[in-house]
Amino acid sequence: MEQKQQTGVVVDLFCGAGGLSHGFVREGFRVRAGFDMDPACRHAFETNNDAAFNERDVGSLKKADLAALFGKDEPTILVGCAPCQPFSTNNQRRPDHPEWRLIESFGVLIRETTPDFVSMENVPRLKSFKGGKLLAEFRSLLEDELGYSVWCATVNCASYGVPQTRRRLVLLASRAGRIELIPPTHQPSGFRTVRETIAHLPPLAAGGQSPDDSLHCASRMSTTNLARVRASRPGGTWRDWDHHLVAPCHRRSSGRLYDNVYGRMIWDAPAPTITTKCTGFGNGRFGHPEQDRALSLREAALLQSFPEDYEFFAPEEPARPQVGARMIGNAVPVALGQAIAGSVARTIGAGEGDG
């Protein structure tokens, strides 16, 4: 397959392991650099995207930092996914949470550098955070103050080839004409499934690791959790278990509604949303459909639509389960990143056609 080539230079804020950047790479864009505070992401970002990783607080960046990266001869594209933790249900009670101000920092950099294109991806709850004021102010900066064309909506990632039920807020902004996300590439009848994504991987026991792929490793399980996963069926809940296996917290009336944990995935459906806790059976519906264990890191990465050869750790470095799960769960799914990149490419192409 011939590699696409697009005009445009990308800088990725809050880049993490590079899921969003890799979507732009696959669409043929050149990613110049990424910025993130997590040093564990350096190898993954640089190795897979041929771009420099900068361990920097986005709030400390200045106009000159980005101007040195963008240059003047190609369309400039500033993308980012600010940490979503401050917009969780728990943290919405903390209006002083320091990380929500990172979106304000993102806005300051846009005002100072006015890139040709901007993309932001986040959790849908951002729309209601602080009564919707934060997102409204960000949009007003782009549309009213800076004159961008803005498109913003909640997206079902499965509609763009991500084999999970993840829903995300996507914002696109353009100074080069009207922009919107490309039409869905997958319809519900053709959503990618767990089976077609991970069934080809060799079987593992809990605590096992593939000799051919260090990322295909599964967490150990206690004797109790092994009994629980063996009593679980795909799509079921802990309500299917014998009473002695049910956790004490779920026996109480306050815990009876929480049945979205200790579950097996369904082979012929998209996976649940992959989180930073995706390698723990008790943290969600992260049990393998057949094997008595939770997801491996490689399985989680594939369900986030990373290619199978994506490196998260250096070859000489052992896979660290908690670190790997954090990088994978926090990432923008690559297929969604490619849809965002394709939307930018379409707008650039439309502008060039008008010239």
pLDDT in tens, 210-224: 999 999 999 999 999
- Phi and psi at residue 36, in whole multiples of 5°? -165, 155
pLDDT digits (tens, 9 = 90+) for 248-272: 888 765 555 566 788 999 999 999 9
Distance of CA 281 to the CA centre of its chain: 20
pTM score, two decimals? 0.92
Residue 93 has what pLDDT?
45
Residue 226 has phi, psi (to 5 degrees) of -65, -40
Identify the pLDDT of residue 131: 81
Domains of the chain: 9-189+333-354 (3.40.50.150)
- Whole-number Å distance between alpha carbons of 19 and 23: 6
pLDDT at residue 3, rounded to an integer: 66
Q: What is the pLDDT of residue 99?
A: 56
Residues identified as active-site: 84
Alpha-carbon distances, residue 266 vs 3, 82, 127, 158, 236 (angstroms): 34, 31, 31, 15, 9
pLDDT value for 277: 95
Sites in the chain below the pLDDT cut of 50: 1, 86-93, 95
